């Protein structure tokens, strides 16, 4: 799926960006720019996103929206992998990103398999963690002069 940068929400505050990773991504973008297509970087290495339902927990569709992507339901896209590529994309005229989008339950399962999350975390808890991560990241970037608002998408 191709997603505009306005619809992507980081969960990694600026102070968690490593200089080594920043340097690597800038070098990759320069290589792709020299080849004439910096956007190709996001095709070769798509951004991994979690579709976080833009619903309240009391909504009757909430449980289903955690485990599958329901047509015409709004989702906020949380970047799971690709923060640096998204952050530096505009510097190379990239504003639309190729993304692999997963349901919240699929993302949670993969994070547990990769041992990046405790096996006891349940989908509702992960939902709250992602919302908090997106909100705190938006606030952290706002303190640095960057403005961003969560803009949901529909599939």
The two structure tokens encoding residue 92:
């190379």
Over its length of 155 residues, how does the chain's per-residue pLDDT go in tens digits? 999 999 999 998 777 778 898 999 999 999 999 999 999 999 999 999 999 999 988 999 999 999 999 999 999 999 999 999 999 999 999 999 999 999 999 999 988 877 777 778 899 999 999 999 999 999 988 888 888 999 999 98
Q: Report the Cα–Cα distance between both ends of the chain, in Å, rounded.
A: 10
Other beta carbons within 10 angstroms of residue 116's beta carbon come to 9
**CA-to-CA separations, 11 to 23, 59, 83, in angstroms, rounded:** 20, 24, 8
- Each domain of the chain, given as residue ranges in start order, spans 2-154
79 vs 130: CA distance, rounded Å: 10
Other beta carbons within 10 angstroms of residue 1's beta carbon come to 14
The pLDDT value recorded for residue 62 is 95
The pLDDT value recorded for residue 121 is 87
pTM score: 0.92
Q: Across-strand partners of 81?
A: 48
């Amino acid at each position: 799926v191709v997603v505009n940068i306005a619809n992507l929400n980081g969960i990694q505050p600026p102070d968690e960006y490593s200089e080594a990773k920043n340097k690597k991504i800038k070098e990759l973008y320069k290589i792709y720019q020299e080849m004439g297509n910096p956007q190709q970087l996001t095709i070769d290495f798509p951004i991994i996103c979690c579709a976080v339902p833009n619903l309240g927990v009391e909504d009757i569709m909430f449980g289903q929206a955690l485990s599958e992507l329901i047509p015409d339901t709004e989702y906020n896209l949380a970047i799971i992998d690709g923060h640096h590529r998204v952050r530096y994309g505009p510097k190379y005229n990239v504003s639309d990103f190729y993304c692999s989008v997963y349901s919240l339950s699929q993302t949670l399962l993969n994070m547990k398999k990769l041992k990046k999350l405790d096996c006891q975390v349940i989908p509702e808890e992960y939902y709250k963690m992602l919302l908090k991560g997106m909100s705190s990241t938006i606030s952290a970037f706002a303190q640095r002069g960057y403005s961003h608002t969560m803009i949901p998408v529909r599939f």
